[in-house]
Amino acid sequence: MYLSLAYQKSQSYRPRSLHFLGEWGEALRQIDAAITTAVRNGDQFPAQHLRLQRAWIQLHAMDFSGVLRTCEPMIALIGNFTGNYLNRFSRLYAGCAEAGLGNYDRALDHLLIARDQMNSHKIMMHWYYCMLLELALTEVWLGKKDPIRARQEAEQFLNNATATAERTWQAKAWEVNARVPMAESDLTCAKDCVSRALGTIEGFEVPLASWRVHATAAEVSERAGDTESSERHREISRVAILKLANSLAPEDPLRKTFLSALSVSKILAEPTGEIMKSGVR
């Protein structure tokens, strides 16, 4: 059974589905169990691939240092197919993590190398990971105060995302396309993009996108002077954040890391600046 293709696929697809449904704790439990099995059977590549899946969850939970600890050893692997594969995705995730830490030059180094690798030798799901790359590059250029390049990457991300049926990625694309004009105080464009992001998630269970979309909607409304709308979106974002956090065990360090991340704690904070306690275990 362990060697069957169906089993190998299940070790990847089930945790990924749980990840996108916001069931981080169960996704991590399944990944860790699969890693243990792979290591016990002496299968290094499946174990390393699963560690990268774990790192993807850590990225969403803002554990950027943890992502780098996972990826840095694999960045040195290159030469054969498995080495090149692990190197490519390790650089992609490491670039995302460095961007999250504000190390934009380091992030750019990783991301541009990953992009060259992805363009020179396309593999299965190339289109899918291009969206993560474009989102990360948009974040980098926003962080480096370069709205022109940020807009270019954001528009490419949006074009690719809207060509798919992936609501999570579509919503993320519209959300970051709202933040680009917001950085230039173009509230009209920001409002339009965030409205499209909200329309994209309506009626769908997309927790990875939902909290961010509503957080950005709250900021756009606040800048437009609509306090009531801002607080409504902020509350929806809070609920989504706490649902993600509560999928993790109370003692899990990842839970604390997520809740203490700046972009998350900003939403959890009351207008007075006090951190919201209700719903936090």
Q: For 103-117, how does the pLDDT look when each residue is reduced to its tens digit (9 = 90+)?
A: 999 999 999 999 998
What is the domain count for the chain? 1
Residue 87 has a pLDDT of 87
Confidence (pLDDT) at 179: 98
Q: How many CA atoms lie within 13 A of 179 on its CB side?
A: 24
Examine residue 178 and state whether it is found in any structural domain, yes or no: yes
* Inside any domain, residue 186: yes
Q: Residue 251's domain spans which residues? A: 167-281
- CA R_g for the chain: 19
pLDDT digits (tens, 9 = 90+) for 211-232: 999 999 999 999 999 999 999 9
What is the four-CA torsion angle of 169, 171, 176, 181, rounded to 10 degrees? 140
Residue 261 has pLDDT above 50, yes or no: yes
Region 151-155 average pLDDT: 97
Q: Are the C-beta atoms of 207 and 172 separated by less than 8 Å? A: no
Nearest-angstrom CA–CA distance, 186 and 178: 9
And the tokens for 258?
């997520």
Residue in this structure with the two tokens 């790192």, named with its chain if needed: 55
First to last CA, the chain: 39
Confidence of residue 276 (pLDDT cuts 50, 70, 90): very low
How far apart are alpha carbons 93 and 136 in whole angstroms? Answer: 9
In this predicted structure, what is the pLDDT of residue 64? 98
CA–CA dist 121, 140 (Å, integer): 24
Computed from CA positions of residues 85, 75, 166, 193, in that sequence, does the dihedral angle turn out positive or negative?
negative
Percentage of residues in the chain having pLDDT higher than 90: 77
154 with 163: CB under 8 angstroms?
no
Does the residue 208 lie in any domain? Answer: yes
Residue 62 lies in a domain: no
In a domain, 259, yes or no: yes
Is 25 within a domain?
Answer: no
Q: Is residue 231 in a domain?
A: yes
Distance from chain centroid for Cα 1: 32
Q: What is the mean pLDDT of residues 30-50?
A: 90
The verdict on residue 72 lying in a domain is no
Q: Which two tokens mark 207? A: 């927790």
**DSSP conformational letter for 275:** B
